[in-house]
């Protein structure tokens, strides 16, 4: 169950029709929400007596008639009957789907969330009869006139009761620019789930004029009450916390998906600039009763949306396989930082694995590859390297893998590593190295248990088919290098 609260304008002209239609749509919902109206606008009595309706006359206003949001939100904490609260503008028609999704998400999340969304604008100049089947008749008559509003703000905010009070909310003026941006900004700062319902619910705004405002300001910069609202948001974020800054969105099938800002509001401006730079279509497009969320098919976006970012270097042209992004020399030159940035930009990797790649690099290129792996791994990230082992006591093995040797690809080998050389070179760029498999100077083989989570190595003690009956015919020098 949900408590809706709002404040109204005088019930005259188009505002009368719009507000009667909007509030009656709430009161006639089969979900039976509690409805609280703050203030007593002229004509509000036309709504009549209703068991779900409560009018609270006491509400503080600015000199121009804008209600104080913080006082309304605090009062709702005291008087709301239900655990779900929703501020909604009094010119918004809500369908049963809105209440269904709100209740579903509250039961799933319980706390620390904010539900917002774009509205559909439409002209309605008649009072609607709210009897059984009204939603279907209304949609049939007006859907062709629906226009998706820009994502500059939200006309509703759904949240768990008690999330906002005097201590957690500054003085904000409802109905003036900026207060809705603060709601999204504050939720992101506090790491709430800010979920965009656009496309999964229909929120219908009834068009009106702005004669209720004492002055029709030419710009936000000329509106002193808007300036007060916007001062609550740091300058660098002032105009960025529109609906595009939501960190989640609700799909039409009810699944909650991450939005492109990836639950990190600090990166939002960076991400937005990348969208604009590459002219990537990321806005949601309206198609009938659904909005399809489209993103670029680029590697960057695949990485951006991937819960774990792993590179398998030397495994093939850029593709995604078994949770790893595979690369080869043509798709990623690991010695050039510009090549890494082409895919990653500001992202970091969790894991890198390279099986029999490092032996093909010159001394100079090895140093650059080590530095690039260290730089583009996150803290705690792991680089797993497997190379031919120069301390292997089998002379045929050494002849096979040495630079210019007889084995496949050995004509391009630049160095034959042993555990000392490889460990020293990785530690020189900052890694902490763990030896997983290796031969020592005395011809003794060392092995510790490792899993494929850090990268599968086929030419290893465990997986190479040539190792039979306990005899080690082919192994690699394998290390894990961790970025501290």
Cα 367 to Cα 95: distance, rounded to the nearest angstrom? 62
Reference 66, options 205, 170, 172, 156; nearest CA is: 172
Strands 310-313 and 156-160: unpaired
On the question of a common fold for 2-293 and 301-482, the answer reads: no
> Which helix (H) or strand (E) element contains residue 364?
helix 363-376
Cα 56 to Cα 340: distance, rounded to the nearest angstrom? 60
Determine which of 206-215, 220-229, 313-322, 469-478 has the lowest per-residue pLDDT on average. 206-215
342 CB neighbour count, 10 Å cutoff: 14
Tell me how many degrees the CA angle 2-7-289 measures, rounded to the nearest 5.
55
CA 370 and chain centroid, separation: 31
**Structure token pair of residue 188:** 């992101």
pLDDT band of 220, cuts 50, 70, 90:
low
Determine which of 43-47, 75-79, 87-91, 206-210 has the lowest per-residue pLDDT on average. 206-210
How many residues comprise the chain? 484
Whether residue 265 is predicted with pLDDT greater than 80 in this model: the reply is: no
The reported pLDDT for the residue numbered 148 is 83
Cα 90 to Cα 21: distance, rounded to the nearest angstrom? 9
pLDDT band of 221, cuts 50, 70, 90:
low
Reference 226, options 185, 181, 187, 173; nearest CA is: 173
pLDDT band of 280, cuts 50, 70, 90:
very low
**Structure token pair of residue 379:** 């803290």
Reference 81, options 52, 104, 109, 110; nearest CA is: 52
- Sequence-ordered strand ranges (E) for 44-138: 53-56, 84-88, 92-94, 113-116, 120-122
Mean pLDDT (whole number) for 386-403 = 95
The reported pLDDT for the residue numbered 294 is 33
pLDDT band of 342, cuts 50, 70, 90:
confident
- Sequence-ordered strand ranges (E) for 57-116: 84-88, 92-94, 113-116
Reference 393, options 353, 445, 316; nearest CA is: 445
Whether residue 73 is predicted with pLDDT greater than 90 in this model: the reply is: yes
Determine which of 36-50, 55-69, 157-171, 275-289 has the lowest per-residue pLDDT on average. 275-289
The reported pLDDT for the residue numbered 164 is 93
The reported pLDDT for the residue numbered 315 is 84
430-435 own/partner pairs: CB under 8 Å, 24+ apart: 430/374, 430/483, 430/484, 431/370, 431/374, 431/383, 431/481, 431/482, 431/483, 431/484, 432/481, 432/482, 432/484, 433/479, 433/480, 433/481, 433/482, 434/479, 434/480, 434/481, 434/482, 435/478, 435/479
Which residues fall within 8 angstroms of residue 172, CB to CB, at 6 or more apart? Answer: 68, 69, 70, 178, 179, 182, 228, 229, 232
Sign of CA dihedral 164, 167, 168, 174: positive
- The three-class DSSP label of residue 304 is helix
- Sequence-ordered strand ranges (E) for 91-164: 92-94, 113-116, 120-122, 147-148, 156-160
**pLDDT digits over 114-173, tens only?**
999 999 999 999 999 999 999 999 999 998 888 888 777 799 999 999 999 878 899 999
Longest dimension (CA), the chain: 98
- Assign residue 110 a region (left: φ > 0; alpha: ψ between -120 and 50; beta: otherwise): left
The reported pLDDT for the residue numbered 296 is 36
Q: Confirm if 367 and 339 have CB atoms less than 8 A apart.
A: no
Whether residue 216 is predicted with pLDDT greater than 70 in this model: the reply is: no
**Structure token pair of residue 131:** 């009897």
Give φ, ψ of 303 to 5 degrees.
-70, -40
The reported pLDDT for the residue numbered 175 is 84
pLDDT band of 240, cuts 50, 70, 90:
low
- The three-class DSSP label of residue 104 is helix
pLDDT band of 330, cuts 50, 70, 90:
confident
The reported pLDDT for the residue numbered 298 is 58
The reported pLDDT for the residue numbered 278 is 46
Q: Look up the CATH architecture of domain 301-482.
A: 3-Layer(aba) Sandwich (3.40)
Whether residue 275 is predicted with pLDDT greater than 60 in this model: the reply is: no
pTM here is 0.56
Torsion of CA 402, 403, 408, 412, to 10 degrees: 160
The reported pLDDT for the residue numbered 215 is 47
430: exposed, middle or buried (C-beta count within 10 Å: 0-12, 13-18, 19+)? middle
- Sequence-ordered strand ranges (E) for 264-348: 284-287, 290-293, 310-313, 319-321, 324-327
The domain spans of the chain are: 2-293, 301-482
Share of the chain above pLDDT 90, in %: 58
- Domain 2-293 CATH (choose: 2.40.50, 3.30.70, 3.90.550, 3.40.50): 3.90.550
pLDDT band of 219, cuts 50, 70, 90:
low
Mean pLDDT (whole number) for 173-192 = 89
pLDDT band of 386, cuts 50, 70, 90:
very high
Cα 313 to Cα 389: distance, rounded to the nearest angstrom? 19
The reported pLDDT for the residue numbered 66 is 86
**pLDDT digits over 410-455, tens only?**
899 999 999 999 999 999 999 999 999 999 999 999 999 999 999 9
pLDDT band of 53, cuts 50, 70, 90:
very high
């Amino acid at each position: 169950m949900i408590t809706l609260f709002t404040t109204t304008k005088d019930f005259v002209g188009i505002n009368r029709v719009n507000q009667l239609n909007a509030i009656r749509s709430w009161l006639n919902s089969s979900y039976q929400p509690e409805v609280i109206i703050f203030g007593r606008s002229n004509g509000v009595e036309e709504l009549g007596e209703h068991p779900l309706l409560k009018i609270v006359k006491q509400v503080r206003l600015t000199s121009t008639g804008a209600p104080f949001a913080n006082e309304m939100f605090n009062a709702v904490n005291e008087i709301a009957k239900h655990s779900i609260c929703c501020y909604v503008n009094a010119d918004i028609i809500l369908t049963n789907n809105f209440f269904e999704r709100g209740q579903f998400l509250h039961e799933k999340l319980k706390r620390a969330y904010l539900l917002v969304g774009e509205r559909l604008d439409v002209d309605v100049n008649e009072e609607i009869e709210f009897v059984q089947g009204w939603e279907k008749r209304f949609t049939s008559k007006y859907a062709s006139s629906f226009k998706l509003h820009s994502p500059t703000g939200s006309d509703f905010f759904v949240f768990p009761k008690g999330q906002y009070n005097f201590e957690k909310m500054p003085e904000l003026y409802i109905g003036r620019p900026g207060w809705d941006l603060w709601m999204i900004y504050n939720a992101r700062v506090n790491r709430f789930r800010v979920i965009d319902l656009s496309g999964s619910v229909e929120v219908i705004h009834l068009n009106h004029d702005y004669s209720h405002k004492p002055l029709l300001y030419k710009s936000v910069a000329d509106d002193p009450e808007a300036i007060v609202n916007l001062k609550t948001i740091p300058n660098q974020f002032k105009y960025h916390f529109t609906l595009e800054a939501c960190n989640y969105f609700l799909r039409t099938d009810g699944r909650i998906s991450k939005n492109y800002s990836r639950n990190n509001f600090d990166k939002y401006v960076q991400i937005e600039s990348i969208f604009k730079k590459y002219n990537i279509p990321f806005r949601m497009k309206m198609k009938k009763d659904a909005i399809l969320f489209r993103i670029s098919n680029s590697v960057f976006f695949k990485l951006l949306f991937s819960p774990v970012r792993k590179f398998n270097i030397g495994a093939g042209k850029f593709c995604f396989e078994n949770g790893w992004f595979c690369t080869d020399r043509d798709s990623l030159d690991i010695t050039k930082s510009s090549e890494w940035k082409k895919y990653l930009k500001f992202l970091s990797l969790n894991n890198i694995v390279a099986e029999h790649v490092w032996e093909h690099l010159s001394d100079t290129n090895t140093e650059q590859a080590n530095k690039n792996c260290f730089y583009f791994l996150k803290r705690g990230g792991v680089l797993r390297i497997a190379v031919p082992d120069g301390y292997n006591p089998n002379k045929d093995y050494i002849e096979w893998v040495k630079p210019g040797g007889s084995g496949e690809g050995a004509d391009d080998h630049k160095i034959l590593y042993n555990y000392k050389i490889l460990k020293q070179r990785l530690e020189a760029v900052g890694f902490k190295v763990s030896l997983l498999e290796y031969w020592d100077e005395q011809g003794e083989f060392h092995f510790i248990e490792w899993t494929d989570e850090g990268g599968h190595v086929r030419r290893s003690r465990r997986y190479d088919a040539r190792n039979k009956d306990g005899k080690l015919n082919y192994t690699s020098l394998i290390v894990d290098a961790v970025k501290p």
